[in-house]
A and B are shown apart, each in its own frame.
Chain A
Amino acid sequence: DAGITQSPRHKVTETGTPVTLRCHQTENHRYMYWYRQDPGHGLRLIHYSYGVKDTDKGEVSDGYSVSRSKTEDFLLTLESATSSQTSVYFCAISELAGGSRTDTQYFGPGTRLTVL
């Protein structure tokens, strides 16, 4: 199994508060991703990173920001959490980009976030 951890694993917060989720990898993979998973929507990409300090937006990036100051850490920040951001958040990593088996994305255990 790929060495990916997420913290916290569970969090309950109130509307309007800032929240930061952390993804940590020990695989030295270049690419890291943040997804959210909601019933009826499947996994949707929020932001991704293709290297230290290199990030880009995904499909549902509004209300989220990310930072990657080290290869192993990718942070997702909700500047002012809203109830619509209640979800399960998954981090993923991959070694390469492009069409090959070696660039399979591997997922962390997830963070369940509830915004009241």
Chain B
Amino acid sequence: GQNIDQPTEMTATEGAIVQINCTYQTSGFNGLFWYQQHAGEAPTFLSYNVLDGLEEKGRFSSFLSRSKGYSYLLLKELQMKDSASYLCAVRAGETDKLIFGTGTRLQVFP
């Protein structure tokens, strides 16, 4: 079957670093996406990994290990506006269908 796991909730302090993990078991793998979703809003694209390693984009970085079925999203210099849900999604197989995890709700405190 297809399964994506990520923690339900996390808390962190403004200015700190937080790592959100995602593990997946899917039939085939063709890329992993991270999305950010503020409450009541649409998901917005953050990052994409298809090869092993780290992709850095400003304060956000995403890591992938295909052999371990594992990814993480690293958020540095946390700001209050980073309080949101973070969705891990895997494209499995040759089509463009994405399988989403249930999301990790991150709360950033002053």
Contacts and interface: CB of A to CB of B under 8 A. Distances in A.
Contact of B33 (A31, A45, A96, A104): A104
Nearest to A97: B96
Contacts, number: 54
Interface of A: 31, 40-45, 48, 58, 90, 94, 96-101, 103-110
A42 B96 contact: no
Interface residues of B, number: 23
B45 A106 contact: yes
B105 to A, nearest CB: 11
Given A43-B87, A99-B31, A101-B48, A107 B42 contact: yes
Query: Is chain B's binding surface mostly helix, strand, loop or mixed?
Result: loop
B102 interface: yes
Closest 10 CB pairs of A and B: A97-B96, A107-B42, A42-B102, A43-B100, A99-B30, A42-B100, A99-B31, A107-B43, A101-B48, A104-B45
